[in-house]
Structure 1
Amino acid sequence: MDLAHTAICVSDLDRAMEFYDALGFEETNRFTLDGVENVYLGRDGDGDLQLRHDPDRTTPVAPNRADVDHIAFTVDDVAETFETAIDAGAAPVLEPTEVDAADAFAAFVEDPEGYTLEFYHWL
């Protein structure tokens, strides 16, 4: 079994697509269903990130780490990806650091919608 995609709601589809484009994601699919725009973004043949935008949504998109702690991506260069994300509009959460308990080198940022992203590679 492989993970096919992770879907997240976004309030500004263009801003979200620009942010993930800066991280090397490319659009792999798009459709609208019941007025909700669905854009799939992929990177290096891995599972996709699905951006869901409902222009008629009346409640704010409010990611909360109590409900979705983070979305993790393996990367070749954690520090470079961290800086790229910051330059693209992310807020730093944890600077690149060794996480001994996980045997990994990792960094965390908050994307423009408020989702926490982890970039890591195994030590």
Structure 2
Amino acid sequence: MRILHTMVRVGNLEKSLDFYCNVLEMKLLRQKDYPTGKFTLAFVGYGEEADNTVIELTHNWDTDSYDIGTGYGHIALGVDDIYATCDRIKLLGGKVTREPGAMKHGTTVIAFVEDPDGYKIELIQTTL
């Protein structure tokens, strides 16, 4: 068994695709409209679904926003240079909600960014 994808509901698919594909540099792997259900599914990631875990963006056509709730935590992404990555995200209009630095009670360098719907994305420095 392996994890295939994580799904998040998004209020504006175009804004979300811009964030995930341009700001976080993922690729749009596939997208399909379901007119009878009034929703669109878009899958984004850093590699093909056969070999990588991806994110499913679900856009229900009649819903502009969602309550995130207290159960959602975050999506984590490994990055080579967390400081340059955060600078680039800010330059592209992304929202960094926690600047890079050591995590509480540890030494791992992390940062947090927020997507257009308010979902938290944790960046973790993978190399020194």
TM-score by length of structure 1 reads 0.84
1:111 aligns with 2:115: yes
Distance 2:104 2:40 in 1: 40
CA contact 1:30–1:40 (8 Å) conserved in 2: yes
Residue type at the aligned position of 1:20: Y
Match of 1:50 in 2: 56
1:85 to partner: Cα distance: 2.4
Match of 1:38 in 2: 41
Residue type at the aligned position of 1:6: T
Unaligned runs of 5+ in 1: none
Q: 1:44 to 1:106 in 2, by over 3 A?
A: farther
Distance 1:112 1:87 in 2: 15
Worse-matched range after superposition: 84-93 or 71-80: 84-93
Using the aligned pairs only, state the percent identity.
26
CA contact 2:27–2:47 (8 Å) conserved in 1: no
Unaligned runs of 5+ in 2: none
Distance 1:78 1:16 in 2: 21
1:62 to partner: Cα distance: 2.4
- CA RMSD, aligned part only? 2.0
Q: 1:40 to 1:102 in 2, by over 3 A?
A: farther
Q: Secondary structure in 1 aligned to 2:29?
A: strand
CA contact 1:89–1:111 (8 Å) conserved in 2: no
1:44 to partner: Cα distance: 4.0
1:60 aligns with 2:61: no
Match of 2:96 in 1: 92
Q: Secondary structure in 2 aligned to 1:81?
A: helix
CA contact 2:10–2:65 (8 Å) conserved in 1: no
Q: Secondary structure in 1 aligned to 2:55?
A: strand
Distance 1:73 1:98 in 2: 16
1:119 to partner: Cα distance: 0.5
1:9 aligns with 2:9: yes
